[in-house]
Chains A and B, each alone.
Chain A
Amino acid sequence: MMQTKLLQIADLKLHFKTRTGTVQAVDGVDFELDSNRAVVILGESGCGKSSLAKAMLRLLPRNVEKYEGSVHLQGADVMKFDEEEFRQNVRWVGISMVPQAAMNSLNPVIRVGEQVAEPAIIHLGISKTEAVALVRKMFQHVGVPLDFVDRYPFELSGGMRQRIALAMALVTSPSLIVLDEPTSALDLLTQANIMNVLKRIKHELGTSFILITHDIATSSELADEVAIMYAGQIVETGHARDFFPAPLHPYSQMLMASVPRLRSESDPMFITGQPPSLLNPPSGCRFAARCPYRFEKCDEEPPVFGRNGRKVKCWLHA
């Protein structure tokens, strides 16, 4: 008996039209996520990971040139939903998102309790009084003292505001929360606190997470699974316990080797060169130009090879 996966994305593409050409930000992404699991999408700036988040939630700007592929949420292909169906059944209710710098995008003139209630009132149709109890519960989940309900965002520290943004994403009980760089602007101890909150929510509420970040070390705090994104494509996926000790794709290996470690004497490396522009991605393997193991076959775009639950988009693993 096959258990329906929570999320299955196949050949997702999102291309933007710009004056200089087409930016192929998300270019054929496949991945899957089970319930109550957290996958971390690791990549550097310009790899398309924020665009991937937007593509999953259909948060599209006006200059979209191509938006296709399939996104199955609990078995249903949400790409086929029309705007209203998507709004009612997917956003907030099925998947919610904590975008980058969410803590800075809270409405400065509305009390935080009201802001957390808003998605529940709109998407769950509950009344303001019913929402009060729900908001208090959310505050407890994210660890914000209850007397902060009537405060304004400016009265809260950065870490507290990030917890409010998280509470907003949680209030509608989505099965999946997408977090885009949730800790990058925060202090060290605050980061650790937020990761603790996410772990606790995953454990107590069974929520799944997609964590998008370039902070490799912090990502290991939550990751059950890892996906590496490069130049608009996913080049490797696998379980965290397989990936972190032994990444397979040359880019993954070099990325992991570039992380300075507190507790070991490794000499970190850096990767020379830059990722290709998403405007005109090279044909063949997109990492070939910077890859020390490049050979003739790399002129042809590699398919994804799978082995033992791990997937690598690299001819070395054919």
Chain B
Amino acid sequence: MSTQDINAPQPLLSIDDLHVWYELRRLGFGHAGYVKAVDGVSFDLAEGETVAVVGESGCGKSSLMKTILGLNVPTSGEIVFDDENLSELSGEGLRRYRFKIGYVQQDPYGALPPFMNVQKILEEPLIISGVKNAEERLSRIHKVMSEVKLHPVEDFLEKFPHMLSGGQQQRIVIARAMLREPKLIVADEPVSMLDASVRVEILKLMHALQEAHGLSVIYITHDLSTVKYFSARIFVMYAGNLIEKADTRRLLENPLHPYTHALLAATSDPDFRNSESFKEVPPGEPPSLVNPPKGCRFHPRCAKAIAGLCDEKEPLEFEPEPNHFVACWLYQPQ
């Protein structure tokens, strides 16, 4: 990592060499190995910064996210959020930690209890965090509903989730995440289950909220075409590691890691010429997280793998250009 200016403000979130390993047990007894879901992840997130974490299923991004949310205990490594070390928190401290982070899930309908109307859904987090005054709760609900542009608020408060469109449901999920005035929002594929014409609307809404409140956002997605509208930086995750980190524009213009190249090449724009050629896709599939390949985890699928190096030693992180980090032997300085 580049050296930090002594006078620079502390990052809001600092993750250092995080490992999240799940133990596999054979038939209830007997250790059968570990699923190394997150295997050495480090990054800093400043206040008000947005970062996209891009990766396919099984790369560990859900485990990373759950650990940041305080829903998983890290196996090793440190998470420091808002000057508090997560491993030192428990009980009440841990509850308050979780209040400071809002979570927006992928499936808006699945995220909302079908038997509660909007008012009850939005009151719940306030009641849990001890807001006893019903008027105060209602006033905060009104405020957040206006911010997510669900007007007229009174009409929506009585509705049940099934009466709302996908986009409206997702606005409720966002409103709920915003209620306790978090500093960080973790959004896991927030628009992938919404229709094309609504996705942009929701992303723009999230962007507006982020700017208005100075929120930090971790935007987890596999849709690369949306990241430039919503994130200042991109992290690419593969098999438990962050293999590339850069400013969004720079990564899209100059992807360094062969896997990043492959992801960008696989992303289509609506162009009629696409049907005239085949896409180059790296062969094979992401590796098992129980027994990842020796050396670089991508090497079995990589056309540029260097025999004797990529299949032997895990790549270090290099910085071939300022603020653009890549864990790949191809960029080892000569």
Write the chain B residue with the least CB distance to A191. B266
Find out whether the CB atom of A189 lies under 8 angstroms from the CB atom of B268. no
Does residue B5 face the partner (Cβ distance < 8 Å to A)?
Answer: no
CB-CB contacts below 8 Å: B49-73 with A: 56-57
Contacts of B223 in A (CB 8 A): 260
Find out whether the CB atom of B200 lies under 8 angstroms from the CB atom of A196. no
**From residue A251, how far is it (CB to closest CB) to chain B in Å?**
9
Find out whether the CB atom of A159 lies under 8 angstroms from the CB atom of B263. no
Contacts of B229 in A (CB 8 A): 260, 268
B136-160 vs A: 1/0 string, CB under 8 Å?
0000000000000000000000000
Does residue A263 face the partner (Cβ distance < 8 Å to B)?
Answer: yes
Does residue A144 face the partner (Cβ distance < 8 Å to B)?
Answer: no
29 A/B residue pairs, CB under 8 Å, sorted by A: A44-B197, A158-B57, A159-B285, A188-B222, A189-B263, A192-B266, A192-B279, A195-B279, A196-B281, A214-B196, A216-B196, A217-B268, A220-B270, A220-B272, A220-B274, A221-B274, A240-B272, A240-B275, A244-B272, A245-B272, A254-B197, A258-B197, A259-B196, A259-B269, A261-B269, A262-B225, A262-B264, A262-B269, A263-B269
B272-294 vs A: 1/0 string, CB under 8 Å?
10110011011001000000000
Does residue A199 face the partner (Cβ distance < 8 Å to B)?
Answer: yes
Find out whether the CB atom of A262 lies under 8 angstroms from the CB atom of B267. yes
Find out whether the CB atom of A45 lies under 8 angstroms from the CB atom of B266. no
**From residue A299, how far is it (CB to closest CB) to chain B in Å?**
24
Q: How far is the CA of A20 from the CA of B197 in the complex (A)?
A: 27
Find out whether the CB atom of A224 lies under 8 angstroms from the CB atom of B275. yes
Q: How far is the CA of A42 from the CA of B223 in the complex (A)?
A: 19
Q: How far is the CA of A45 from the CA of B193 in the complex (A)?
A: 10
Find out whether the CB atom of A199 lies under 8 angstroms from the CB atom of B275. yes
Contacts of A158 in B (CB 8 A): 57
Find out whether the CB atom of B196 lies under 8 angstroms from the CB atom of A223. no
Q: How far is the CA of A218 from the CA of B165 in the complex (A)?
A: 24
Write the chain A residue with the least CB distance to B192. A184
Find out whether the CB atom of B268 lies under 8 angstroms from the CB atom of A218. yes
Q: How far is the CA of A189 from the CA of B263 in the complex (A)?
A: 7
Find out whether the CB atom of A199 lies under 8 angstroms from the CB atom of B269. no
Known: A188-B266, A268-B200. A260 touches B225 (CB 8 A): yes
Contacts of A270 in B (CB 8 A): 197-201, 204
Does residue A79 face the partner (Cβ distance < 8 Å to B)?
Answer: no
Does residue A222 face the partner (Cβ distance < 8 Å to B)?
Answer: yes
**From residue A46, how far is it (CB to closest CB) to chain B in Å?**
9
Q: How far is the CA of A303 from the CA of B172 in the complex (A)?
A: 40
A240-256 vs B: 1/0 string, CB under 8 Å?
11011100000000111
Q: How far is the CA of A190 from the CA of B279 in the complex (A)?
A: 11
Contact partner of A187 (CB less than 8 A), chosen from B56, B226, B278, is B56
Find out whether the CB atom of A44 lies under 8 angstroms from the CB atom of B195. yes
Contacts of A224 in B (CB 8 A): 275
Known: A220-B274, A256-B270. A189 touches B281 (CB 8 A): yes
Does residue B88 face the partner (Cβ distance < 8 Å to A)?
Answer: no
**From residue A38, how far is it (CB to closest CB) to chain B in Å?**
8
Contacts of B201 in A (CB 8 A): 270
Q: How far is the CA of A202 from the CA of B270 in the complex (A)?
A: 20
Find out whether the CB atom of B270 lies under 8 angstroms from the CB atom of A260. no
Q: How far is the CA of A271 from the CA of B252 in the complex (A)?
A: 27
Find out whether the CB atom of B56 lies under 8 angstroms from the CB atom of A189. yes
CB-CB contacts below 8 Å: A206-238 with B: 214-224
